[in-house]
Amino acid sequence: MKIAAWNVNSLKVRLPHLLEWLARVAPDVVCLQETKCEDVKFPAAEIEVAGFHWVHEGQKTYNGVAILARTPISNVTRGIPGFGDPQKRLIAGDVEGVRVISAYVPNGQSIGSDKYAYKLAWLEALRNHLHEEVGRSARVAVLGDFNIAPEDRDVHDPKAWQGQVLVSEKEREAFRALLAVGLVDSFRLFEQPQETFSWWDYRQAAFRRNMGLRIDHILLTRELAARCAASCVDREPRKLERPSDHAPVIAELRPA
DNA sequence: ATGGCGGCTCGCAGCCGA
């Protein structure tokens, strides 16, 4: 089973890239972030013709998360239970015995801002929720845009980024706390090329110069990690005209 | 130090992202 996460930065604008990518890569499950559209505007027909079931937790202008899957998606939940949040950042469902969670962690804007406090509160609520999910199932996959570069090697220029949002110690602590409920970063199960990133700023020709961060992740419970055969970033869509600023991340799971 | 790019909106400038 090939599973993936992609922050598309507007599903409407990126639909041609997404459809082309689905056909080329042939994933079984795709978690989307920043769809930026209401549920009624979700491109259902195009996604279904491409061969996917889907669930969407949408919102106008900001946020919005979805799951696409080759097989039906059941037991769908929206948002973090008990965490009243008007921002649409989480959706979960069961796909072929795997609890799949599509997450869009808040950006945090700047250290010390209200949005930073919201990010940390959101991550704390997510941790508590994932603790429950992992308690219920040994097969949980959390995929999405975490807006955290876990280590300095996930940052093109750690000195320039030091103390900034996305790399701050409190955010990294919060990321490690997610792992501590019983999850592993699938990317680090394998030898990886140096300077592998998943996001590059639109400005300063950052992609061409590989000035990026690795902030999109696929977290797996131990049982799924044992089945993981590969984990990578697919840079190809970032090279296209009018790309998302994020590239998809992919993990391959062997059959149970 | 700032803004740079791109997407969005009851747009024509400002907000937000990362």
Q: Any catalytic annotation for residue A104?
A: yes
- Is the pLDDT score of A203 beyond 90? yes
Q: Residue A256: its pLDDT value, please?
A: 87
Q: Residue A204: its pLDDT value, please?
A: 92
Q: How far is the CA of A160 from the C1' of B1 (A)?
A: 14
- Is the pLDDT score of A113 beyond 90? yes
Q: How confident is the model at residue A38 (pLDDT cuts 50, 70, 90)?
A: very high
- Chain B, protein-covered positions (CB within 7 A): 3-10, 16-18
Q: Residue A25: its pLDDT value, please?
A: 98
Percent of chain A with pLDDT over 70: 100
Q: Is the CB of A115 under 7 A from strand B?
A: yes
Average pLDDT for residues A109-122, to the nearest whole number?
A: 95
Which nucleotide's C1' is closest to A166 (Cα)?
Answer: B18
Q: Residue A28: its pLDDT value, please?
A: 98
Q: Is the CB of A10 under 7 A from strand B?
A: yes
Which nucleotide's C1' is closest to A9 (Cα)?
Answer: B7
Q: How many C-beta atoms surround the C-beta of residue A184 within 10 A?
A: 17
Mean pLDDT of chain A: 97
R_g of chain A computed on alpha carbons:
17
Q: Is the CB of A153 under 7 A from strand B?
A: no
Q: Residue A246: its pLDDT value, please?
A: 98
Q: How far is the CA of A69 from the C1' of B17 (A)?
A: 27
Q: Where are the beta strands (DSSP E) in chain A?
A: 2-7, 29-33, 53-57, 65-69, 74-78, 90-95, 98-104, 140-145, 183-185, 199-200, 212-213, 216-221, 228-233, 249-253
For residue A200, the cross-strand partners are A212
- Is the pLDDT score of A191 beyond 90? yes
Residue (of A148, A144, A56) closest to A102 by Cα position: A144
- Is the pLDDT score of A201 beyond 90? yes
Spot the catalytic one: A28, A94, A145, A154.
A145
The whole-angstrom separation of Cα A82 and Cα A18 is 33
Q: Residue A239: its pLDDT value, please?
A: 97
- Is the pLDDT score of A146 beyond 90? yes
Q: Any catalytic annotation for residue A145?
A: yes
Spot the catalytic one: A28, A104, A116, A185.
A104
